[in-house]
Structure 1
Amino acid sequence: MTERREQRRGFWRENSLTLTFGIAFLVVLALQAVAGHAEFNEQMTVDGLQPLTFGEYLTSSDFAVDVSENWQSEFLQFFLYIFGTVYLVQRGSPESKKVHEAGIEDEQQQRMGDHARSDSPRWAGTKDWRQSLYARSLGTVMGTLFLLSWLAQSIAGTAAYNDQQLRQLEDTVSWAGYVATPDFWNRTLQNWQSELLAVAAMVVLSIYLRQRGSPESKPVGAAHTATGIEG
């Protein structure tokens, strides 16, 4: 019994970062649903229409577009950051590789092919398409998630936009028509600019500021010019 308890405690401790942020995500998503439902029904009441139940709101296009438009901007941020940091550097930032290491690096540095170790992922030691695919798998998956969430946003956005058009007794639009509207690009670009600003701020501020114990920060005593060093 004690051993099982220790195993559970060890699992939570070893995965605390993922579990904490995963739980926090679900809590915030639930709070967003509650707040969004209240706001949506306020507008429905103003328009003289029947409010939706909470369950109906969760399956509505309005809730779907609000969620997906945030997801796609987050995945875009990581997709651009993952590929951008291959070639782009920032002297003094722990978010950057050392200036002279810009590029894809050789197989020895990447522990690929003949340089793979016993604990390396199996595909890293191959010399065919599997190695090439695995070597780009993180960026590829992030890019795919961005495209899928962007597509979900555009589809849900079309439905939400058309619902609003019908309430105002105006003509509806097709998916292609909605993607060309200012409403779609306003929703999209306001999220993109905030994500790009956050990345730029993190890169620059981490040159001069520190957070003791965080791998996202340089050691407290590291020089401002030290690049690619984590705490």
Structure 2
Amino acid sequence: MKKAIANNSLALVFGLLFLVSLVAQAFSGWQQFNDQQVGERLGTIGWWDYVTSADFAVDVSENWQSEFLQFLLYLLLTVWLLQRGSPESKELDKAGLESDEEQKVGEHAEAGSPAWAKAAGWRRSLYSNSLAAMVGAIFLASWLVQSVAGWAAYNETRLQQMRDPIGWGAYLLHSDFWARTLQNWQSEFLAVGSFAVMAIYLRQRGSPESKPVGAPHTATGIEG
């Protein structure tokens, strides 16, 4: 059991942090929502009503979609784009999809390689892009949830203001939807780009996300 926990400690810790943060967000968001309701002389709601509401759904999903968009773009752009000196970049002479030998597929697969890496045709092609496909699907699904939940929450606000609700298609073009979306996108792009550049000159000993402490600043595509 101890060995299994140690071997999966990174996933377990982040899973725990996710659950704790989500529950904490649910309680703090509930209190914030009720505070706004009191300020507008409207009735308060219970915690369960809040976590099953459009307001909570849009707050959660708008962050999820931006995170998965970040990973999707990072996966795809780092295939072709390079950053000299960054461990987040491939080596400068390895831009592109790389050879079958480098990717250990087909006749170059090893004994422990996944079965679909050894296969030919569509199965190998699908498996070769399966990570981006899954991340992209989660991004699109969470963005769809954000749009529907945000639409419902926005119309609730309009009705409280004695204004007519708008349709989902109109909401997709509305500033409320894009303000929620872009405020998350810009922060994700800033974080990834900044990290890639900072990792050229700064180090974290023992981390695979950093170069070895003594590696030259110009060393590219190596991890500590």
Interval containing the TM-score (normalised by the shorter chain): over 0.9
Q: CA deviation at 1:117?
A: 0.6
Q: Does 1:172 align with 2:165?
A: yes
| TM-score, normalising length: structure 1 | 0.96
Aligned residue pairs total 224
Q: Which one of the candidate residues 56, 67, 70 is aligned to 2:60?
A: 67
Q: How does 1:77-116 map to 2 (within 5 A)?
A: 77-116=70-109
SS at match of 2:93: helix
- Structure 1 stretches of 4+ with a deviation exceeding 6 A read none
Q: How does 1:131-210 map to 2 (within 5 A)?
A: 131-210=124-203
- What is residue 14 of structure 1 aligned with on the other side? 7
Q: Which one of the candidate residues 31, 35, 41 is aligned to 1:42?
A: 35
- What is residue 23 of structure 2 aligned with on the other side? 30
C-alpha offsets along residues 49-80 of structure 1, whole Å, 9 cap, x if unaligned?
11010000010000000000000000000000
Instruction: Quote the Cα distance in structure 1 between the aligned partners of 2:118 and 2:143.
Output: 35
SS at match of 2:43: coil
Unaligned runs of 5+ in 1: 1-7
| TM-score, normalising length: structure 2 | 0.99
Q: CA deviation at 1:224?
A: 0.3
Q: CA deviation at 1:46?
A: 1.4
Unaligned runs of 5+ in 2: none
Q: CA deviation at 1:47?
A: 1.6
- What is residue 5 of structure 1 aligned with on the other side? none
SS at match of 2:61: helix
What is the root-mean-square deviation of aligned Cα atoms in Å?
Answer: 0.5
- Identity score, percent: 57
Instruction: Quote the Cα distance in structure 1 between the aligned partners of 2:139 and 2:55.
Output: 20
AA in 2 matched with 1:139: A
SS at match of 1:92: coil
Instruction: Quote the Cα distance in structure 1 between the aligned partners of 2:164 and 2:146.
Output: 21
Instruction: Quote the Cα distance in structure 2 between the aligned partners of 1:173 and 1:68.
Output: 21
C-alpha offsets along residues 104-142 of structure 1, whole Å, 9 cap, x if unaligned?
001000000000011001100011111000000001111
AA in 2 matched with 1:49: L
Q: Does 1:211 align with 2:213?
A: no
